Amino acid sequence: MVVEKVWLTGSAVWIRTDDGREACEHFADYPRLRAAKPSQRANYKTDAYGINWPDIDEDLCFEGFFQTKERTELYRIFMAHPELNASAVARRLGISQSLFAQYISGAKKPSDSRLEEIYATIRTIGKELTRIPKVEPTIA
């Protein structure tokens, strides 16, 4: 697929392919895009595979625009916990952000072993967060 045009409306990002097909993804479906300022949404980069918003660390793959959205468990985890940074998780795993975005969107299915590696990495992040020491209030 070759995307020839990308544009934003007040509620979605749209693409048009070289064969004339158009599709959109709604900001409301992506917590970081939903919460982003218009200037942050307007600052995006594209490559042959998708769109990246560096200010909010969000990625969407072009293939996902035209696929029926299967709400995978990974999708549900990242929608329920927008504080999880998908790009940072991808970097920890040593996989491309674009591929990881495709796993989350359901555009691609990770192998069982890769899926367990993803879950283990998310659990490790959670464990690391629980080890942050409690700050006791100081009495003046």
For 21-54, the pLDDT digits (tens) are 999 998 878 878 988 999 999 999 999 999 999 9
Domain boundaries, the chain: 3-130
pTM of the model: 0.56
Tokens of 78: 């990242």
68 has pLDDT over 80: no
Of residues 46, 43, 47, 65, the one with CA closest to residue 55: 43
Using CB atoms within 10 A of its CB, is residue 40 exposed (0-12), middle (13-18) or buried (19+)? middle
**Per-residue confidence (pLDDT) for residue 21, from 0 to 100:** 95
C-alpha dist (Å) from residue 121 to 5, 9, 59, 126:
36, 35, 19, 9
Position 69 confidence tier, pLDDT thresholds 50, 70, 90: low
Place of tokens 């080890």: 131
**CA 24 – CA 94 distance, rounded (Å):** 29
Read off the pLDDT of each residue in 86-108 and give the average, rounded to a whole number.
Answer: 88
Mean pLDDT calculated for residue range 50-63: 92
Give the C-alpha separation, 109 to 104, whole Å: 9
Longest CA–CA span in the chain (Å) reads 69
* pLDDT above 70: residue 85: yes
Chain mean pLDDT for the chain: 90
Q: What is the mean pLDDT of residues 60-70?
A: 83
What integer is the mean pLDDT of 77-88?
87
Amino acid at 49: Y
